[in-house]
């Protein structure tokens, strides 16, 4: 059994960059990725901003071994997962027990939507290949095959906590001596279905979102993918490189308060954070930075803030919502923000909470306003709180 699980590699693609370096540069410039909708034909064009990856499917496919006939979700996944695996620099991967644990919530829905545009006009039209791989698991299978990760493969879909749960599950596979290396995280692309669904819930901001601001009005949807390469003690010692950090704690708790809302007291949020701390052997005062779930909706930010206030008392670490840059990438968010957390430890970073102006009246703390480098960041908590009260917290620690 592996006593520790380490992050050996990271990979990410979001609206603020097509790889790790570009994302870091956007953070330093404090440049958000939200803009008008350009890639989807929707009645919401010009009404709500989104955080699109700034590449067409054809451009994404050119960076992969796939064709543009693959779903956008799959293309984003392969780009980020391949970057993470290359970054880990693991030689002779075929000699190790490897796995791919990937999360998503939309599957190939973008291709299915393309099919029905033609099919509803004439039911003899439409390409069936666009609905053949609709389910979420097909994304994982296609990418795992391309990466050669064949010993274990599974898909997690628990709404906005999906890829955080994928990472904690990957860690358990290593700790229980089932696998040596796991590429874990998630992917999601923007679709008309998700845009319309969130619009029906009336939680989309018509301006750029402002998480944890008193005058917040909702979230901006985004897309992307983020993966970390988790390795065992044995693999970490054999690699000729320094690990990013250790995944020291994780927990998933569910308050089951409501289908789409967190409990006002933040019960699930509190349980996830406190139990992740217990698993890591840390206390609240050890945390240097919290990557907030921070969607910008009134309910979510209030519930998360209430839970943080309960757990941390009067001693609050630096915190911010990087969704103010990337938008809410749904099933990909936990993986993307795990990458940001690992980078925060490696480079001593505090990310800013863009557009924050007015403190929430019920909270005694405010998020970070500016990008900071060379900070003493040893322990980072990353929160991912999903629909149905499915709440997950990950803790990353310096080695």
Q: Which candidate in 160, 245, 269, 391 is catalytic?
A: 160
Single residue among 205, 238, 271 that ends a domain in this structure: 238
**Do 310 and 342 fall into the same domain?**
yes
**Do 193 and 339 fall into the same domain?**
no
Two tokens at 139?
Answer: 């994304």
- Any idea what the CATH number is for the domain that residue 381 is in? 3.40.47.10
**Do 197 and 86 fall into the same domain?**
yes
**Do 218 and 70 fall into the same domain?**
yes
Q: Where are the alpha helices (DSSP H) in the chain?
A: 20-29, 57-62, 72-88, 109-121, 129-132, 136-147, 162-175, 192-200, 233-238, 267-280, 298-312, 323-326, 333-347
**Do 205 and 329 fall into the same domain?**
no
- 328 catalytically annotated: yes
DSSP-derived 3-state class of residue 10: strand
Range of the domain at 388: 248-397
Find tokens 């980020």 and name the residue: 80
Do the domain assignments include residue 64?
A: yes
**Do 146 and 258 fall into the same domain?**
no
Q: 124: which residues sit within 8 A by CB, 6+ positions away?
A: none
Distance CA 32, CA 30 (A): 7
Q: Is 258's pLDDT higher than 80?
A: no
pLDDT interval class at 265 (50, 70, 90) = confident
Confidence (pLDDT) at 117: 85
Mean pLDDT of 279-295: 98
Q: Is 52's pLDDT higher than 70?
A: yes
Look at the chain and report how many structural domains it folds into. Answer: 2
pLDDT interval class at 68 (50, 70, 90) = confident
Instruction: Tally the C-alpha atoms within 13 A of residue 223's C-alpha that lie toward its C-beta.
Output: 29
Q: What pLDDT digit, counting tens, does each position of 99-123 carry?
A: 999 999 999 999 999 888 888 888 8
Q: Is 69's pLDDT higher than 70?
A: yes
Single residue among 184, 219, 238 that ends a domain in this structure: 238
Mean pLDDT of 236-257: 94
**Do 209 and 328 fall into the same domain?**
no
- 293 catalytically annotated: yes
Q: Is 1's pLDDT higher than 70?
A: no
Single residue among 188, 216, 238 that ends a domain in this structure: 238
Least confident span in 117-121, 308-312, 371-375, 395-399 = 117-121
Least confident span in 202-206, 262-266, 289-293, 314-318 = 262-266
Do the domain assignments include residue 1?
A: no
Note the pTM of the prediction, 2 decimals.
Answer: 0.97
Confidence (pLDDT) at 260: 66
Q: What pLDDT digit, counting tens, does each position of 192-217 carry?
A: 999 999 999 999 999 999 999 999 99
**Do 340 and 204 fall into the same domain?**
no
Distance CA 104, CA 160 (A): 9
Q: Which candidate in 245, 269, 293, 391 is catalytic?
A: 293
State the pairing for strand pair 318-320/181-188.
unpaired
Q: Is 393's pLDDT higher than 80?
A: yes
**Do 215 and 294 fall into the same domain?**
no
The angle formed by the CA atoms of residues 44, 56 and 35, to the nearest 5 degrees, is 40
Do the domain assignments include residue 222?
A: yes
Two tokens at 157?
Answer: 């879909």
Q: How many angstroms from the chain centroid is the CA of residue 279?
A: 21
Confidence (pLDDT) at 226: 98
Q: Is 129's pLDDT higher than 80?
A: no
Helices and strands (H and E) in the chain: how many: 13, 10
**Do 170 and 282 fall into the same domain?**
no
**Do 192 and 255 fall into the same domain?**
no
Confidence (pLDDT) at 2: 61
**Do 130 and 270 fall into the same domain?**
no
Do the domain assignments include residue 243?
A: no
Q: Which candidate in 136, 209, 269, 328 is catalytic?
A: 328
Mean pLDDT of 298-323: 96
Mean pLDDT of 38-50: 95
Do the domain assignments include residue 307?
A: yes
Mean pLDDT of 78-82: 98
């Amino acid at each position: 059994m592996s006593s520790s699980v380490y992050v050996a590699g990271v990979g990410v693609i979001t609206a603020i960059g097509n790889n790790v370096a570009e994302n870091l540069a956007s953070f330093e410039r404090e440049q958000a990725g939200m803009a008008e909708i350009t890639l989807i034909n929707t009645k919401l064009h010009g009404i709500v901003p989104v955080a699109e990856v700034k590449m067409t499917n054809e451009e994404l496919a050119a960076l992969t071994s796939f064709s543009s006939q693959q779903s956008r979700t799959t293309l984003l996944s392969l780009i980020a997962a391949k970057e993470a695996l290359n970054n880990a620099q693991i030689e002779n991967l075929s000699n190790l027990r490897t796995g791919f644990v990937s999360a998503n919530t939309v599957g190939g829905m973008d291709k299915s939507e393309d099919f029905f545009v033609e099919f509803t006009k004439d039911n003899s039209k439409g390409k069936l290949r666009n609905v053949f791989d609709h389910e979420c698991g097909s994304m994982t299978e296609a990418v795992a095959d391309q990466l050669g990760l064949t010993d274990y493969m599974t898909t997690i879909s628990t709404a906005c906590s999906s890829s955080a749960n994928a990472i904690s599950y990957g860690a358990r596979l290593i700790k229980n001596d089932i696998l040596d290396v796991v590429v874990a995280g998630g992917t999601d692309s923007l679709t008309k279905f998700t845009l319309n669904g969130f619009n029906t819930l009336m939680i989309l901001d018509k301006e750029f979102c402002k998480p944890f601001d008193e005058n917040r009005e909702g979230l901006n949807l985004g897309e992307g993918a983020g993966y970390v390469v988790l390795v065992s003690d044995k693999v970490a010692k054999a690699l000729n490189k320094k690990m990013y950090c250790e995944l020291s704690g994780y927990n998933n708790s569910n308050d089951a308060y409501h289908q789409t809302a967190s409990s006002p007291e933040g019960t699930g949020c509190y349980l996830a954070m406190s139990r992740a701390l217990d698993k890591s052997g840390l206390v609240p005062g050890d945390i240097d930075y919290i990557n907030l779930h921070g969607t910008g909706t009134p309910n979510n930010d209030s519930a998360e803030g209430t839970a943080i206030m309960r757990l941390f008392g009067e001693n609050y670490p630096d915190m911010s919502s990087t969704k103010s840059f990337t938008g809410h990438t749904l099933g990909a968010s936990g993986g993307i923000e795990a990458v940001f957390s690992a980078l925060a430890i490696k480079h001593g970073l505090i990310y800013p909470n863009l557009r924050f102006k007015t403190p929430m009246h019920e909270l005694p703390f405010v998020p970070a306003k500016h990008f900071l480098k060379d900070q003493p960041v040893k322990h980072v908590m990353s929160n991912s709180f999903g629909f149905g009260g499915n709440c997950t917290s990950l803790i990353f620690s310096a080695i």
